[in-house]
Chains A and B, each alone.
Chain A
């Protein structure tokens, strides 16, 4: 649907600025994920520490977006599509802030991953998960910026693969931990890193839901396909060990 400009031009400026700030936040969040995972792969504690510090920028931007959104609501009393645009912007900013927290958490764990036991295959697995999640995040941020319903729905449906990878990684780490208790510290940290990335994917699907709501004015009616079965995997492993 072609949108005309508002009679009050300043309202358009307010909305554009809000969208721009959310997009900026999205760019920062993407960079944080990439940097955190890069630090993990290379076990580079210095760049991991930089990721931890840089998270403040995301927190600040989220606060600014919320203030701006509240001010715009108070000043313009937006209706229908405009109101959804503003509420949507706030929600997306919230998801991006959480994604930032998870990247920061990965950064914190890098320094804990000392020791000799570092199966590159597993770390590559986490890296591959992050590549998938980054692609999801990029696609959903594009969908947000261009109000693209198809792209949003594709992201919403595409989270399954990341979930499945997280489950299989979990199984593998479990076997390493059962083999030698000295591996446990490393494995637990790596598992948390993988879980963080899997949660980032969940936030990307949240954003897809928000984009859908912004465009359509109603929530997605379908059930989302789920691939994360870590809970059942754990039960399987326990019963297998008995």
Chain B
């Protein structure tokens, strides 16, 4: 009897693990920058409420792929994206889709913290205001406070919400950018090397934050730090020369990768 109960709970645990919903689906994604074929036929499923790390050497296409997910490549005139990317089964390259709405739903955090040259408060309030998410000042105050709290920054800046955002430290600026991104209630957050300009302590805070945020958001992070990918992500995808070489659970990717190129890259054997 006892053993039956155990088997049952084990099944449930397995099922819940496998039943994680896919948030972003990429099928046959190709990107050309003019003559250059930057991304070849990428197929990738990204589960919701988890961190997926995209790794690979410089120029491998990982940032290009990241930028496809909120159509940032639209801003580059020579870029041509083909194939299909769906978020919650909705084709994001559908011509009738509102790109501004898409980018509100898919937030982005960049390598270098880039707060607006405005107050801490305004940095966070800007998005909700232009998207008409707050009907009153109280509403807006609440969104700003909540976003700063979720970004783990509120305690540090609560007494200087009117000071300039650019006056904060690098790590605080990056968390301000994360607060700004989550203020418009996105479902997906893209992070392009969010810690590369930060010291180890600020990096640790952002990593801790990612771990908390993944309860509510789907996070996709491009990182050059293998250790960071191993620490923060649940799934890892390895890109090389414009191809998606291998993807799988982070645990497996960093202990027993299948592809020789993945192994060479993560162990520092790329010449």
A pairs with B: yes
| Chain A neighbourhood of B268, CB < 8 A | 6-8, 11, 76, 79, 82
Q: Which residue of A lies closest to B266 (CB)?
A: A79
Is B263 close to A, CB under 8 A? yes
Q: Is the CB of A78 within 8 A of B267?
A: yes
Is A238 close to B, CB under 8 A? no
A114-141 Cβ-contact flags toward B at 8 Å (1 or 0): 0000000000000000000000000000
| Chain B neighbourhood of A83, CB < 8 A | 255
Partner of B255, one of A5, A11, A217: A217
Is B36 close to A, CB under 8 A? no
Among A6, A77, A80, A82, the one with the most B-chain Cβ atoms within 10 Å of its Cβ is A80
Q: Which residue of B lies closest to A85 (CB)?
A: B267
Report which A residues bind B (CB closer than 8 A): 1, 3-8, 11, 76-83, 216-218
Q: Which residue of A lies closest to B227 (CB)?
A: A77
| Chain B neighbourhood of A1, CB < 8 A | 260
Q: Is the CB of A218 within 8 A of B269?
A: no
Q: Cα distance A81–B227 when bound, in Å?
A: 15
| Chain B neighbourhood of A82, CB < 8 A | 267-268
Q: Cα distance A216–B258 when bound, in Å?
A: 11
Pairs across A and B, CB under 8 Å, 21 listed: A1-B260, A3-B269, A4-B264, A4-B271, A5-B269, A5-B271, A6-B269, A7-B270, A7-B271, A8-B268, A77-B226, A79-B255, A79-B266, A79-B267, A80-B254, A80-B256, A80-B257, A80-B263, A81-B263, A81-B267, A217-B255
4 cross-chain pairs, A with B, having the tightest CB-CB distances, nearest first: A217-B256, A4-B269, A79-B266, A82-B267
| Chain B neighbourhood of A81, CB < 8 A | 263, 267
| Chain A neighbourhood of B256, CB < 8 A | 80, 216-218
| Chain A neighbourhood of B264, CB < 8 A | 4
The total of chain B residues at the interface (CB under 8 A) is 16
Q: Is the CB of B267 within 8 A of A80?
A: yes
Secondary structure at chain B's binding surface: helix, strand, loop or mixed? helix
Secondary structure at chain A's binding surface: helix, strand, loop or mixed? loop
Q: Cα distance A76–B267 when bound, in Å?
A: 10
B45-89 Cβ-contact flags toward A at 8 Å (1 or 0): 000000000000000000000000000000000000000000000
Can you add 8 more A-B contacts, CB < 8 Å, to A7-B268, A80-B266? A1-B260, A5-B271, A77-B227, A79-B254, A79-B267, A80-B267, A82-B267, A217-B255
| Chain A neighbourhood of B102, CB < 8 A | none
Q: Which residue of B lies closest to A78 (CB)?
A: B267
Partner of B226, one of A5, A6, A79, A216: A79
- Measured between C-beta atoms, what is the minimum distance from B26 to chain A in Å? 26
- Measured between C-beta atoms, what is the minimum distance from B245 to chain A in Å? 15
Q: Cα distance A3–B270 when bound, in Å?
A: 11
**CB-contacts of B213-240 with A (<8 A):** 226-227, 230
Q: Cα distance A76–B230 when bound, in Å?
A: 15
Contact A79/B269 with A4-B264, A217-B256 known, Cβ cut-off 8 Å: no
Q: Cα distance A3–B267 when bound, in Å?
A: 11
Q: Cα distance A6–B264 when bound, in Å?
A: 8
Q: Cα distance A11–B268 when bound, in Å?
A: 9
| Chain A neighbourhood of B230, CB < 8 A | 79
- Measured between C-beta atoms, what is the minimum distance from B224 to chain A in Å? 14
Q: Cα distance A6–B226 when bound, in Å?
A: 15
Among A78, A79, A83, A218, the one with the most B-chain Cβ atoms within 10 Å of its Cβ is A79
Q: Cα distance A79–B269 when bound, in Å?
A: 11
- Measured between C-beta atoms, what is the minimum distance from B253 to chain A in Å? 9
- Measured between C-beta atoms, what is the minimum distance from A19 to chain B in Å? 16
| Chain A neighbourhood of B260, CB < 8 A | 1
Q: Cα distance A7–B271 when bound, in Å?
A: 6
| Chain B neighbourhood of A8, CB < 8 A | 268
Q: Cα distance A8–B271 when bound, in Å?
A: 10
Q: Which residue of B lies closest to A216 (CB)?
A: B256
